[in-house]
Amino acid sequence: MSKELIAVAMSGGVDSSAVAAMMKHRGDNIVGLTMQLWNQRRLPELATGEQSGRCCSIDDVYDARYVAQLLDIPYYVVNFEEQFEKSVVKPFVDDYLHGRTPIPCTLCNNFIKFDQFLEMAEGVGARKIATGHYARIVQDDETGRYQMLRSVDSTKDQTYFLCGLTQPMLARTIFPLGGHNKSEVRQIARDLGLPVAEKNDSQEICFVPNGDYAGFIDAYLKEQGAAAPDLAGEVVTTDGKVIGEHSGVHKYTVGQRRGLGIAARDPLYVISTEPQSRRVVVGSNEDLLTPKLEARDVNWISIAAITEPRRAHVRIRNRHIPAAATILPTSDPSRVAVHFDEPQRAVTPGQGVVMYDRDLVLAGGWIV
Amino acid sequence: MPRFYFDHNATTPVSTNVLELFSKCLAESYGNASSIHYHGQQSKMLLEQARRHTAALLHASPKEIVFTSGGTEADNLAIFGTMRGNARRHAVTTVIEHPAVLNAFAQLEREGVAVTYLPCDRQGMVSPQAVADAVSANTGLVSVMHANNELGTVQDIAAMAAIAQQTGAVFHSDGVQAAGKISVDTGALGVDLYAISGHKFNAPKGVGALFVRKGVELNAQQFGGMHEQGKRAGTENVPALAAMGQAAENAFCADSSRIGALRDQLEHGIKERIPDLQFNGVNAPRVPNTLNVCFDGIEGEAMVISLDLKGFSVSSGAACSSGAVEPSHVLLAIGLTRQQAKSSIRFSLGLGNDEAQVDQLIEAVAASCAQLRRLSPTYV
């Protein structure tokens, strides 16, 4: 009997193409699958003419298929558009309308790539999947627990978005790029003659062209026949003084400085958005600083749930440098309190929070 | 890994004697069929022989055959050739047509024609009474497919054609999935127009024909030379058309009972081995090669991939441009839920299949189905 079948998630980009090529060349038995997640022909008013770097464009499927053909591996496009809209796009829109800043990549990982895709892979006979994510998985010999580590290339590390992966998911996932630098991956792709070796990295949120999420939300609501709710309201200071008006709370994120349209002596920042009253609260940079936070729906990855305080480095945004903190158990086992050594800027409800011990990813959750 | 092909409604392999003639013509018969000289005459002779064979398959006269580049062009020529410039501004078709017809009618709508889309029952049958209720003195065209590509159900074309013609409407039938599978007698059916595609009955891709009953007016939709009695300009693809003629002759003489027996073997085998399924569109007249099955609790897409990795080519629904699949509009039209439609698989048999292959297919389907159901959150 031949080696066990492994499904490679192929997006048509350089990373997942390199994964497929590396595995094929080391003799793995692989099948390439591309997830069709979003129909780019929807919401035509957002069309930019620029397709590359956006998910599920015809070009990306073309590239993935071409790479599969060069590697002589079986290859299929699988359709998850319905699940993607339900589990990622709708919550994305909903979050903004409720004054939260969503992270769709995490939802996509939790509910599509490491859930639906894993199931699809098993359905076609592949117990394990491989993806082009930058992260590492190791198994603890003593406990048998799967642990996640940051990728060797710290600039590409994607553990922030992978913090929802559970033990059963980790047991069946391979991240072949976790030990490589991006430049090495490109070189591997070049050496193997992959046509996508010089392709640009994907940017922003894959289904939102040009990062214009407010435009996306307006267009999506219009397509759904849902009248865009009136989200215009007042801009107020932290002490409640009305200093201006805005055209929609969903256009503002915590920590934002530009685009307020209000002249002030000192720079103004968005401190919070209040969807109920449709108010955007602004203040000084100092007002953005927060000494602690609470995380909900905590997923313990490399260690079991803590029962006593533990030192950690905590990341509150993808680009945030993990800050020294103490994490403390609460009466609710699915929640932890995080006390930072130094106050952190723009702690945003609804964003993911990931706790590290050096490279080890301890746990991930959502900021309350 | 041996490969087995069970997707003959998508396309068919080219038969041996068809391939021989095709290759010979490609190599030798390069003359333009419109030329006066020897080379032209050789091609013209092959072309007219192909026309005679194609006409025979449809029980038609050779003069009633217009060659096209395939089924889509034949359907488009029938629909636009009848309705463009027609004083009658209403047309009728059904919800279960192939996109070659449905999207042509959508274009007619954009051009100002009112279109009635007839529903079907749970077996995929369209009622002749529905045609009678839809047509009026303003109806220019009624178009109903003869056999459905996904279910294989065969419509009562003769009854519908008679009803349509009583009001003076032209009757077209998309016969792409019928020709070569069942006997097609354009006289008995009473159709005015009838479209076929060569590659559905073991000819190469890229050739088809439209039957145009003598006396039926049809406006050309592309302009150039006076080929095909002025109805379809463009130098004829003689090798492929000659091949289609040979395939038509083969099909005319073929015994479809062998394919029907294989289909029945498959149907019984699946029924015996696998619980919780339903056969779509079986309680209706149907072509002998098609079997459409809904397996509760599985994703058809995963089943197709799983079977493909085992060496079996089957189909779950209409493929779109990126290669991903959407639930079939035909299965939705017969009242299946989206989930049921996505859980359905189409098996379509052809000349290359035999009993041993069908037995292996049954085994593979049973194994894949069991595997997928074990994982399914909806199957308990």
Going from the N-terminus, what domains does chain A have, and what CATH number goes with each?
Answer: 5-132+176-211 (3.40.50.620), 230-283 (2.30.30.280), 289-367 (2.40.30.10)
Residue A2 has pLDDT above 90, yes or no: no
First to last CA, chain A: 51
Q: Give catalytic residue positions of A.
A: 108, 206
The pTM score is 0.88
Question: Rounded to an integer, what distance in angstroms lies between the CA atom of residue B54 and that of residue B236?
Answer: 15
Q: Give catalytic residue positions of B.
A: 320
> Between residues 305 and 344 of chain A, which touch chain B (CB distance below 8 Å)?
none
Report the greatest alpha carbon distance in chain A: 74
Cross-chain residue pair B324–A78, CB shorter than 8 Å: yes
**DSSP assignment string, B29-66:** --S-TT-SSHHHHHHHHHHHHHHHHHHHHTT--GGGEE
* B16-253 under CATH 3.40.640.10, yes or no: yes
Nearest Cβ partner for B305 among A61, A65, A76: A76
All residues of chain B having their beta carbon less than 8 Å from the beta carbon of residue A123 are: 298-299, 302-303, 305-306, 371-372, 375
Nearest Cβ partner for A124 among B302, B321, B324: B302
To the nearest whole percent, how much of chain A has pLDDT over 90? 64
Q: What is the pLDDT of residue A205?
A: 83
Of A35-39, A305-309, A313-317, B7-11, the one with minimum mean pLDDT is: A35-39
pLDDT tens, position by position, B47-68? 999 999 999 999 999 999 999 9
Q: What is the pLDDT of residue B214?
A: 97
**DSSP assignment string, A18-57:** HHHHHHHHTT-EEEEEEEE---TTSSGGG--S--TTSTT-
Q: Model confidence at B95, in pLDDT bands (50, 70, 90)?
A: very high
Cross-chain residue pair A61–B308, CB shorter than 8 Å: no
Residue B324 has pLDDT above 60, yes or no: no
Q: What is the pLDDT of residue A215?
A: 86
All residues of chain B having their beta carbon less than 8 Å from the beta carbon of residue A56 are: 322
Task: Find the mean pLDDT for residues B309-330.
Answer: 77
Mind telling me how many Å the CA of A96 is from chain B's nearest CA? 30
Q: Are A292 and A308 in contact (CB under 8 A)?
A: no
Task: Find the mean pLDDT for residues B279-306.
Answer: 95
Whether B16-253 shares its CATH topology with B255-375 is answered no
Q: Are B158 and B190 in contact (CB under 8 A)?
A: yes
Q: Model confidence at B255, in pLDDT bands (50, 70, 90)?
A: confident
Contacts of B41 (CB under 8 A, 6+ apart): B31, B35
Higher pLDDT, A99 or B46: B46
Q: Model confidence at A350, in pLDDT bands (50, 70, 90)?
A: confident
B300-309 and B355-375 are packed helices; what angle lies between their axes, rounded to 10 degrees? Answer: 130
Cross-chain residue pair B325–A79, CB shorter than 8 Å: yes
Cross-chain residue pair A123–B324, CB shorter than 8 Å: no
Question: Rounded to an integer, what distance in angstroms lies between the CA atom of residue A104 and that of residue A107?
Answer: 5
Q: What is the pLDDT of residue A275?
A: 79
Q: What is the pLDDT of residue B218?
A: 97
B16-28 and B238-253 are packed helices; what angle lies between their axes, rounded to 10 degrees? Answer: 160
pLDDT tens, position by position, A129-185? 999 999 999 999 999 999 999 999 999 999 999 999 999 999 999 999 999 999 999
Burial B359-380 (b: 16+ CB within 10 A, else e): eebbebbeebbebbbebbeeee
Task: Find the mean pLDDT for residues B68-89.
Answer: 98
Question: Rounded to an integer, what distance in angstroms lies between the CA atom of residue A80 and that of residue A9?
Answer: 13
pLDDT tens, position by position, B188-224? 999 999 999 999 999 999 999 999 999 999 999 999 9
Nearest Cβ partner for B306 among A58, A119, A123: A123
The strand pairing partners of B92, in sequence order, are B116, B142
Kindly compute the dihedral angle of the four CA atoms of residues B241, B245, B246, B250, in this order, to the nearest 10 degrees.
140
Mind telling me how many Å the CA of B302 is from chain A's nearest CA? 6
Helix (H) or strand (E) run with residue A311 in it: strand A310-315
Phi, psi of A239 (to 5 degrees): -95, 15
Rg (CA), chain B: 21
Cross-chain residue pair A124–B326, CB shorter than 8 Å: no
Question: Rounded to an integer, what distance in angstroms lies between the CA atom of residue B311 and that of residue B346?
Answer: 16
Nearest Cβ partner for B324 among A79, A120, A125: A79
Task: Find the mean pLDDT for residues B13-41.
Answer: 97
Cross-chain residue pair A79–B302, CB shorter than 8 Å: no
A19 touches chain B (CB under 8 A): no
Question: Rounded to an integer, what distance in angstroms lies between the CA atom of residue B68 and that of residue B210?
Answer: 7
Q: Model confidence at B231, in pLDDT bands (50, 70, 90)?
A: very high
Helix (H) or strand (E) run with residue A300 in it: strand A289-300
Q: Model confidence at B323, in pLDDT bands (50, 70, 90)?
A: low
Residue A209 has pLDDT above 90, yes or no: no
Burial B108-131 (b: 16+ CB within 10 A, else e): beeeebebbebebbebbbbbbebb
Question: Rounded to an integer, what distance in angstroms lies between the CA atom of residue A157 and that of residue A163?
Answer: 12
Higher pLDDT, A231 or B63: B63
Q: Name which of A66, A76, A81 to mutate to probe chain B: the one with the most chain B Cβ atoms within 10 A of its Cβ.
A: A76
Q: Which fold has domain B255-375?
A: Aspartate Aminotransferase, domain 1 (3.90.1150)
The one-letter amino acid code at B45 reads M
Cross-chain residue pair B322–A36, CB shorter than 8 Å: yes
Question: Rounded to an integer, what distance in angstroms lies between the CA atom of residue B218 and that of residue B193?
Answer: 10
All residues of chain A having their beta carbon less than 8 Å from the beta carbon of residue B298 are: 123
Cross-chain residue pair B299–A123, CB shorter than 8 Å: yes
Residue A357 has pLDDT above 90, yes or no: yes
**Taking the domains of chain B in order of start, what are their residue ranges?**
16-253, 255-375
